[in-house]
């Protein structure tokens, strides 16, 4: 089965996708976007390849850890590496990203230690990393809510005078990542309204991975999702999300528009969730093996690898080096996750408020007295 | 205790301190001037809401502020409450101190998710790395003859959510200082304004600094037989009940909670240990309301001091009714006095 049916013109069509690499890895020209990738060197492309391989290893390693009972849950980015690495690599240091919960690839490009991401899935933290230091906000689990946070943040960037100055170190863009399912949320529509009327320096990066848990994109829309942006008066583009070069190019253009004062852009990255929604999901109940096979032939890593091999820029030595790096990452992930201990129970009372709240203080005091009332509390720190 | 309202209704209490610079202004104007002062003192403060710019808000609380502070700081937003609060969260992450106006109490629910799921929890989720100093102003309560959704009292829904502070001023003087305290707070604050009192005038000390903070209740009238606990619009009802009861020989102490989250339990408990009786009054429905929390705390801490069960007076477990019968729904002077009588007679 093919998920694409150009004859319908509906949400499944692949018409109008910006593409710079064919599924076979052949570099094709695009009049609007060739210039956006002209400066990329072979090293840059190899860097993209490396990033994608590492993030995929993170996915498979984390899934294994969940199966071993070390993680409560995990959500794979499998299949979406090109959309995430390509767009993430287009960001500048001062830009700020609002992810949903599957953006491990973007997290990696922002310098977030991927083991930190697993604190959430281990159940020892609701977040993990420093959202300010990395310019990468915490994962948002309520679908679409963060589109408004990104919009407000971008409105703040405007008020700070960090748009349209022409200084590349100063001008700042904001990017928000969400999926096809999120486009049905009211908050995403409201974010599009607020961003449009405020001309906010914001990139809406919608990864259309074809599935919102078990619901296909056809349950969210009758038209390509990029039309969502167009309807709000926001320049919109569809990109082959399994093409890392094209994903980089359209994002670079959108970020530049945002930073220069040109306002928001809506990007639909047409890709595929090759794995399950999470480790709790079972895709065999709602999609076919043929469909999965169709997309497996469009694997984003294979595509870039084929291109680099064809141009003689991917040596066996480099592949082996990346493979060893991935192995080392896997080892580091396993060690890090297993060392993430149970937080102190009393930590549940911390950071509820920024300033003292008598109800929290009283309940904490009671809890501590209760805990210490057990005879073994001194020796074990807890009665459990 | 610097207002005319307090002075009139606190005949037996310790004399209120005379205001240094007394100016008779309305409740709405007091908030307006408090907002103005915050805008002047901190360039990061900005106001957001529907019709708050040229119109000055449907109650004119923000009258003239856009003219003086510009459209970037007094922002007319699209008509989307979730959008208002959601973008305020983002602005706060960027270092701003947004003050959102929700036009009417019954319109806050499109923003309920953003308030309870995001605004309340971001500081916790980020382990204190992010603070969201967002104020959400909500004209609330009834008695103004409005259509549906314009007279509700949803404060308990927010007090039930950890991470939020929930306050309600009862006088223009309190409104003036409490709005400034709310804006200065690093925590998100739900600021419930008793809209039925917007047009009442009182002396307000415009040079006064917020001194009581947001956590403290205050005894606005001293008494010895019954404690009435109230906040926002029902403080005036409680004071009237106290004045009437006094004529009948019952001495009523009135506690203005000011804050519903947190509740200043110590001040309430101290009062009830003295009087032995407690009546809680709010416009919100009694069932699962703030009064239930007060009753539980008082029972836990004053059990052997009580001469009667804690009684509650408030709205019924029915949707807010049509305007022609709303005064039968609201906790009237007579119903408060009835509860006082029942507490005495128990």
Tens digit of pLDDT for each residue in B111-137?
A: 999 999 999 999 999 999 999 999 999
- What are the chain B neighbours of A351 within 8 Å (beta carbons)? 123-124, 126-128
* ipTM of the modeled complex: 0.95
- Locate A331 and state its tokens: 């080892």
A to B CB pairs, distance under 8 Å:
140
In this predicted structure, what is the pLDDT of residue B300? 97
In this predicted structure, what is the pLDDT of residue A384? 47
Residue A165 neighbours by CB distance under 10 Å: 14
Determine the CATH number of domain A34-338: 3.40.50.970
Query: Distance (Å) from the C-alpha of residue A140 to the closest C-alpha of chain B?
Result: 9
Which member of B46, B90, B127 has the closest CB to residue A151?
B90
Which residue has 């103004």 as its token pair? B144
In this predicted structure, what is the pLDDT of residue B17? 46
Tens digit of pLDDT for each residue in A9-65?
A: 788 898 999 999 999 999 999 999 999 999 999 999 999 999 999 999 999 999 999
Contact B187/A126, CB-based, under 8 Å?
Answer: no
Check if A153 contacts B (Cβ < 8 Å): yes
Distance separating alpha carbons of residues B163 and B123, to the nearest angstrom: 8
Check if A220 contacts B (Cβ < 8 Å): no
Distance separating alpha carbons of residues A211 and A331, to the nearest angstrom: 31
In this predicted structure, what is the pLDDT of residue A2? 42
Surface of B (84-123) touching A: CB under 8 A: 85-96, 98, 110, 113-114, 117-118, 121, 123
Per-position b or e across A319-341, b if 16+ CB within 10 A of its CB = beebeeebeebbeebbebbeebe
- B303: Cβ contacts below 8 Å, ≥ 6 apart: none
Contact A190/B83, CB-based, under 8 Å?
Answer: yes
Consecutive 10-residue averages of pLDDT for chain A (384 residues): 53 93 97 98 98 98 97 97 98 98 98 96 93 96 97 98 97 98 98 98 98 95 96 98 98 98 98 95 95 96 98 96 98 98 96 97 97 73 49
Closest by CA to A264, choosing from A368, A158, A169, is A158
Check if B140 contacts A (Cβ < 8 Å): no
Q: Which CATH architecture has domain B4-205?
A: 3-Layer(aba) Sandwich (3.40)
- What are the chain A neighbours of B91 within 8 Å (beta carbons)? 152-153, 155-156, 159
* pLDDT per residue of chain B (346 residues) written in tens, 0 to 9: 333 344 333 334 444 444 446 679 999 999 999 999 999 999 999 999 999 999 999 999 999 999 999 999 999 999 999 999 999 999 999 999 999 999 999 999 999 999 999 999 999 999 999 999 999 999 999 999 999 999 999 999 999 999 999 999 999 999 999 999 999 999 999 999 999 999 999 999 999 888 889 999 999 999 999 999 999 999 999 999 999 999 999 999 999 999 999 999 999 999 999 999 999 999 999 999 999 999 999 999 999 999 999 999 999 999 999 999 999 999 999 999 999 999 999 9
- B71: Cβ contacts below 8 Å, ≥ 6 apart: B53
The catalytically annotated residue of B123, B149, B150, B317 is B150
- What are the chain A neighbours of B95 within 8 Å (beta carbons)? 156, 160
Check if B213 contacts A (Cβ < 8 Å): no
In this predicted structure, what is the pLDDT of residue B209? 84
CB A102 within 8 A of CB A64: no
Which member of B129, B215, B261 has the closest CB to residue A132?
B129
Chosen from B48, B76, B94, B124 to mutate, greatest number of chain A CBs within 10 A: B94
Contact B86/A156, CB-based, under 8 Å?
Answer: no
Q: Which residue of A has its CA nearest to B189?
A: A353
Distance separating alpha carbons of residues A371 and A378, to the nearest angstrom: 10
Chosen from B53, B69, B90 to mutate, greatest number of chain A CBs within 10 A: B90
Which residue has 């102190």 as its token pair? A344
Question: Long-range pairs for A311-316 at CB < 8 Å and ≥24 separation?
Answer: A311/A42, A313/A42, A313/A45, A313/A46, A314/A46, A314/A49
Check if B4 contacts A (Cβ < 8 Å): no
Distance separating alpha carbons of residues A258 and B114, to the nearest angstrom: 25
Determine the CATH number of domain B218-345: 3.40.50.920
Contact B89/A354, CB-based, under 8 Å?
Answer: no
- Locate A332 and state its tokens: 């580091």
In this predicted structure, what is the pLDDT of residue A157? 98
Contact B86/A159, CB-based, under 8 Å?
Answer: no
Domain ranges for chain B, please list them: 4-205, 218-345
Q: Which residue of B has its CA nearest to A196?
A: B78
Closest by CA to B161, choosing from B118, B132, B101, is B118
Query: Distance (Å) from the C-alpha of residue A345 to the closest C-alpha of chain B?
Result: 14
- What are the chain B neighbours of A356 within 8 Å (beta carbons)? 215
- B119: Cβ contacts below 8 Å, ≥ 6 apart: B85, B88, B89, B132, B134, B163, B164, B188
Which member of B87, B162, B261 has the closest CB to residue A152?
B87
Contact B123/A357, CB-based, under 8 Å?
Answer: no
- What are the chain A neighbours of B86 within 8 Å (beta carbons)? 145, 147-149, 151-152, 187, 190-191
Which member of A153, A186, A191 has the closest CB to residue B93?
A153
Q: Coil, strand or helix: which one is B340?
A: helix
Check if A342 contacts B (Cβ < 8 Å): no
Catalytic residues of A: 273, 277, 286
In this predicted structure, what is the pLDDT of residue B75? 98
Contact A152/B264, CB-based, under 8 Å?
Answer: no
Contact A360/B162, CB-based, under 8 Å?
Answer: yes
């Amino acid at each position: 089965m093919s998920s694409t049916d150009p004859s319908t013109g509906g949400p499944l069509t692949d018409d109008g996708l910006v593409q710079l690499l064919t599924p076979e890895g052949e570099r094709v020209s695009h009049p609007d976007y060739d210039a956006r990738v002209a400066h990329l060197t072979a090293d840059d492309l190899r860097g993209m390849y490396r990033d994608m391989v590492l993030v995929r290893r993170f996915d498979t390693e984390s899934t294994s850890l969940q199966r071993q009972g070390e993680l409560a849950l995990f959500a794979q980015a499998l299949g979406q590496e090109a959309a995430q690495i390509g767009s993430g690599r287009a960001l500048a240091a001062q830009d700020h990203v609002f992810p949903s919960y599957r953006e491990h690839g973007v997290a990696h490009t922002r310098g977030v230690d991927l083991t930190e991401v697993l604190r959430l899935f281990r159940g020892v933290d609701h977040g993990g990393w420093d959202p300010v230091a990395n310019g990468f906000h915490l994962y948002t689990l309520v679908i679409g809510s963060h589109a408004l946070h990104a919009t407000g943040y971008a409105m703040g960037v405007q008020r700070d005078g960090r748009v349209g100055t022409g200084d590349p170190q100063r001008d700042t863009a904001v990017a928000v990542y969400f999926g096809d399912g999120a486009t049905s949320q009211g908050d995403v529509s409201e974010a599009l309204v607020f961003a449009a009327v405020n001309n906010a320096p914001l990139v809406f990066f919608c990864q259309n991975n074809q599935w919102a848990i078990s619901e296909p994109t056809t349950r969210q829309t009758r038209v390509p999702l990029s039309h969502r942006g167009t309807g709000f008066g926001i320049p919109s583009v569809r990109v082959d999300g399994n093409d890392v070069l094209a994903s980089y190019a359209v994002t670079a253009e959108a970020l530049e528009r945002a930073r220069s004062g040109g306002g928001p852009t809506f990007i639909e990255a047409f890709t595929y969730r090759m794995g399950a929604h999470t480790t709790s999901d079972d895709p065999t109940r709602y999609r076919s093996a043929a469909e999965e096979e169709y997309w497996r032939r469009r694997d984003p890593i294979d595509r870039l690898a084929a291109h680099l091999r064809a141009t003689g820029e991917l040596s066996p030595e480099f592949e082996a080096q990346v493979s060893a790096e991935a192995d080392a990452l896997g080892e580091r992930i396993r060690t890090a996750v297993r060392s993430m201990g149970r937080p102190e129970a009393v930590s549940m009372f911390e950071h509820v408020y920024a300033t003292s709240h008598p109800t929290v203080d009283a309940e904490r005091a009671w809890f501590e007295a209760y805990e210490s009332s057990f005879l073994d509390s001194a020796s074990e720190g807890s009665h459990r | 205790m610097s207002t005319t309202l307090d002075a009139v209704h606190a005949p037996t209490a310790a004399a209120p301190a005379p205001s240094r610079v007394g100016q008779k202004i309305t409740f709405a104007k007091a908030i307006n001037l408090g907002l103005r002062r915050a805008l002047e003192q901190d360039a990061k403060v900005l106001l957001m809401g529907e019709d708050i710019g040229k119109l000055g808000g449907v109650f004119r609380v923000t009258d003239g502020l856009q003219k003086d502070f510009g459209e970037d700081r007094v922002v007319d937003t699209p008509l989307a409450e979730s959008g208002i609060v959601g973008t305020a969260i983002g602005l706060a992450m960027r270092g701003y101190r947004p003050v959102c106006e929700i036009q009417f109490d019954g319109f806050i629910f499109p923003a309920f998710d953003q308030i309870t799921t995001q605004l309340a929890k971001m500081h916790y989720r980020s382990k204190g790395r992010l603070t969201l100093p967002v104020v959400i102003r909500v004209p609330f309560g009834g008695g103004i003859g409005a259509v549906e959704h314009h007279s509700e009292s949803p404060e308990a829904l927010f007090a039930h959510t950890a991470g939020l502070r929930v306050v309600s001023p009862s006088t223009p003087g309190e409104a003036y200082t409490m709005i400034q305290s709310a804006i200065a707070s690093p925590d998100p604050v739900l600021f419930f304004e008793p809209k039925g009192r917007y047009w009442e005038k009182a002396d307000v000390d415009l040079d006064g600094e917020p001194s009581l903070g947001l956590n403290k209740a205050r005894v606005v009238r001293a008494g010895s037989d019954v404690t009435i606990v109230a906040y926002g619009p029902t403080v005036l009802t409680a004071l009237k009940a106290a004045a009437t009861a006094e004529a009948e020989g019952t001495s009523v102490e009135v506690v203005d909670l000011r804050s519903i989250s947190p509740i200043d339990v110590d001040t309430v408990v101290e009062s009830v240990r003295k009087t032995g009786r407690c009546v809680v009054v709010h416009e919100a429905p009694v069932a699962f309301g703030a009064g239930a929390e007060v009753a539980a705390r008082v029972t836990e801490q004053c059990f052997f001091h009580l001469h009667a069960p804690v009684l509650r007076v408030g709205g019924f477990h029915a949707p807010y009714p049509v305007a022609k019968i709303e005064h039968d729904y609201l906790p009237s002077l007579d119903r408060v006095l009835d509860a006082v009588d029942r507490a005495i007679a128990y």
